[in-house]
Structure 1
Amino acid sequence: MKNPQQDEQEQEQQQLLLYGAAGSGSVAVEAALTLLGRPFRLVEGETWVSETARERVAAQNALRQIPTLVLPGGEVLTESAAILIHLADAHPEASLSPGLGDPARGQFLRWMFYVSSAIYSLHWIKPDVGRIGAPAGAREAVVQAVHERIAFCWRSMDAQLRPSRYLLGDELTVLDLYVAVISRFGPWRERFYAEAPAMTPVIRRVDEEPRLKALWQRRFPDG
């Protein structure tokens, strides 16, 4: 007969383990898990400012970055877009991604990786502009240039999408969650609204999603 401690250990082993932080890209993964009703254990740590947080995730992710998701069997997933696509595809009943046979699948993948590579990845430069060979004294100019590029990318995406209730149609997908999170980063939401008028009503709708409002308020307390 199992004792309560053994039961607790088994439950922990069966849970997803997410390394993340408030105000970061990991919140999109938290949002997806919330909609899926998947329990998870969160290891909190701002890896972009804390060496302790970087060391904590290093055993699972050599880049020492978040989000990093450890599946119950021990498999590690990194890269926010990959995590979101995997979770959505693993739960087709939730309709958080177009299926393989869905005509919208191609555009879903296109825009998921666009947000990841053309926009989110640029934020990696900002904590240490030396990563691109710029001197520390040029940080302000570099960050401004990064923000201008991000604004251009949002504008370009907005010009090519024809949103309905959500970005790809009438079903909320992890693309909506992804944009709702990444659009909160520099150059901040007001600039996003100005550059992406077609996407703005969708993202405001995602902000007001009843199942996620508590999460947004907790993980983005400053709005």
Structure 2
Amino acid sequence: MSKYVLIGSEGCGSAVVELAMREAGAEFELEEIPYLEPGPDRDRLLELNPLGQVPTLIMPNGSVMTESAAIIFHLADAFPDARFVPSSSDPQRPAFLRWLLYINSEIYPTTTFADDPRRWKISETKSQMYKDTIDQYRVELWGHVEEVADDRYFLGERLSAIYFYIAVMRHWRPGKDAFAKALPKLTAIADNVSRLPQFEGILKRNFPEA
């Protein structure tokens, strides 16, 4: 194997890694599957990643990486010219690390919390209220990121991997319109990323209704 294989699903976190791989100039093949649907694709994914989640990345040497933040750091090491992760000497690196991990550890998991309320023993009668509560909490969590952003940038003008998360995750619940209403600065950042020619096609394919 001479290139990466990115296993992903339309509209999911694999889009974050796809943006990073495009920016890095990595040679890769995208294998899109409906990762939650039972069948051969799901079975293969579970063999590679016991959590059955995307993104799952098969490395050129055949080993497997999971977790989007880990993949981001690997790509930054493998393709240093991309510079979407600040170097160890960059004064912005501590803030970048803080907010990248905040997005991954605090905001990202709330998406799965409300995917299937039955997983948490939430009754049918309370499931919608539960989803709405989680969605509101997600917006509140994004609000702390909004406070740090300026009108067009996050931690300076240089494109960073955090931009990839913002551009993708704004489409997730409670949806792009609610995100824009509550988070105008992050919306402006996401809009700028979406207009970049190297990313426009990826985002339109993953979010065709946007």
Q: How many residues align?
A: 209
- Is residue 222 of structure 1 aligned with residue 209 of structure 2? yes
Q: Deviations over 1:156-194 (max 9, x none)?
A: 2212x1337431211111110111101110111222122
Structure 2 residue aligned with 1:108 = 96
- Tell me, yes or no, if the aligned pair for 1:18 and 1:68 is still in contact at 8 Å: yes
Structure 1 residue aligned with 2:72 = 84
Q: Which amino acid aligns with 1:170?
A: E
Give 1:42's match in structure 2, choosing from 30, 35, 44.
30
Q: Deviations over 1:36-94 (max 9, x none)?
A: 2212122211223x122432211110111111111111221111122122212322211
Shift of 1:212: 1.1
Q: CA 1:125–1:202 in structure 2 vs 1: closer, same or farther (change >3 Å)? A: same
Gaps in structure 1 of 5+ consecutive residues = 1-12
Structure 2 residue aligned with 1:94 = 82
Give 1:193's match in structure 2, choosing from 169, 176, 180.
180
Shift of 1:199: 2.1
Q: Deviations over 1:115-157 (max 9, x none)?
A: 1121111111223213223224422111111101111111122
Hey, what's the Cα distance between the residues in 2 that align with 1:192 and 1:120?
15
Structure 1 residue aligned with 2:164 = 177
SS at match of 1:43: strand
Q: CA RMSD in A?
A: 1.6
> What percentage of aligned pairs have identical amino acids?
33
Runs of 4+ more than 6 Å apart: none
- Is residue 211 of structure 1 aligned with residue 198 of structure 2? yes
Map residues 125-164 of structure 1 onto 2, 5 A cutoff.
Answer: 125-159=113-147, 161-163=148-150
Q: Which amino acid aligns with 1:110?
A: R
Higher Cα Rg, which structure: 1
- Tell me, yes or no, if the aligned pair for 1:89 and 1:99 is still in contact at 8 Å: no
Greater Cα offset, 55-64 or 134-143: 134-143
Shift of 1:15: 1.1
Q: Which amino acid aligns with 2:146?
A: D
Give 1:70's match in structure 2, choosing from 43, 52, 58.
58
Hey, what's the Cα distance between the residues in 2 that align with 1:131 and 1:218?
30
Hey, what's the Cα distance between the residues in 2 that align with 1:164 and 1:172?
14
Hey, what's the Cα distance between the residues in 1 that align with 2:164 and 2:150?
14
SS at match of 1:140: helix
SS at match of 2:197: coil
TM-score with structure 2 length normalisation?
Answer: 0.92
Gaps in structure 2 of 5+ consecutive residues = none
